């Protein structure tokens, strides 16, 4: 199983068009988080993809910077929003979650939705969270989500319950071919431990739609 960053980027570049078409609706848990943010803040969307949550941020009056490894997903997001006054202000940046190209204490809040489970090692997951903490202003909030190993959907996708946390889940293209997507599936308590090691302060953890969610805060 090739779970390198280059392979993840190549995978999402390959499936970008069909993925973006199938992933338009923002998650309710993310919308709830966005609704509670003070208006007008500068918000970082780590692993923004084509921008389904970045758009929700911009439409509620936030200034948004989205970063992602997949240049094709970024291009789809940029083209789809360029003609909109509200959405045209989103900044789309090709960057690695483990090496964010921003100064310390730059952002008022952050999203990291369905990103950590693509990283190939525990060290990289901690580094991505540490980088998010570094670029957040003191007391700024972040919402983080990862895929749970207990999601019932996985039995259908994998033909049975996953026997190990590192798996490949197929994405079917319109021509019938499948593209394997590498994932690290999270066990209960695993995300909490990563957040502690990253230096973020975990404030709330909950399940939603087969995912583990965390609300965390950058401590000054």
Q: Is 148 a member of any domain?
A: yes
Count of domains in the chain? Answer: 1
Q: Is 75 a member of any domain?
A: yes
Q: Is 10 a member of any domain?
A: yes
Q: Is 167 a member of any domain?
A: no
CATH of the domain at 64: 3.40.50.150
Q: What is the mean pLDDT of residues 128-132?
A: 98
The DSSP secondary-structure symbol of 26 reads P
Share of the chain above pLDDT 70, in %: 99
- Closest C-alpha to 186, from 159, 213, 217: 213
* Domain extent for 18: 5-152+185-217
Q: Is 172 a member of any domain?
A: no
H/E element, 215: strand 211-217
- Tell me the average pLDDT of the chain: 96
For the segment 139-156, what is each residue's pLDDT rounded down to a tens digit?
Answer: 999 999 999 999 999 999
For the segment 38-47, what is each residue's pLDDT rounded down to a tens digit?
Answer: 989 999 999 9
Q: Is 157 a member of any domain?
A: no
H/E element, 174: none
Placement of tokens 């923002």 in the chain: 26
Q: What are the structure tokens assigned to 53, written together?
A: 């949550």
Q: Is 44 a member of any domain?
A: yes
Distance CA 27, CA 111 (A): 12
Q: Give the Cα-Cα-Cα angle 59, 96, 153 (nearest 5 degrees).
A: 70
Return left, alpha or beta for 123; rule: phi > 0 is left, psi -120 to 50 is alpha, else beta: alpha
Predicted local confidence at residue 2, as pLDDT: 66
Q: Is 203 a member of any domain?
A: yes
């Amino acid at each position: 199983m090739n779970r390198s960053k280059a392979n993840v980027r190549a995978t999402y570049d390959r499936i970008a068009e069909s993925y973006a078409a199938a992933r338009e609706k923002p998650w309710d848990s993310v919308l709830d988080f966005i609704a509670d943010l003070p208006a007008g803040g500068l918000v970082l969307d780590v692993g923004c993809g084509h921008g389904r949550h970045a758009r929700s941020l911009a439409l509620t009056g936030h200034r948004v910077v989205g970063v992602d490894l997949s240049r094709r997903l970024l291009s789809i997001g940029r083209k789809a929003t360029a003609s909109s006054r509200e959405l045209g202000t989103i900044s789309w940046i090709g960057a690695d979650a483990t090496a964010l190209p921003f100064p310390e204490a730059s952002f008022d809040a952050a999203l990291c939705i369905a990103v950590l489970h693509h990283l190939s090692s525990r060290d990289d997951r901690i580094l991505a969270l540490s980088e998010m903490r570094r670029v957040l202003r003191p007391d700024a909030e972040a919402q983080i989500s990862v895929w749970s190993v207990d999601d019932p959907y996985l039995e259908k996708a994998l033909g049975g319950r996953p026997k190990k946390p590192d798996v490949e889940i197929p994405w079917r293209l319109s021509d019938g071919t499948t593209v394997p997507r590498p994932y690290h599936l999270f066990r209960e308590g695993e995300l909490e431990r990563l957040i502690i090691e990253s230096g973020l302060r975990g404030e709330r953890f909950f399940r939603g739609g087969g995912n583990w969610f965390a609300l965390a805060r950058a401590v000054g």
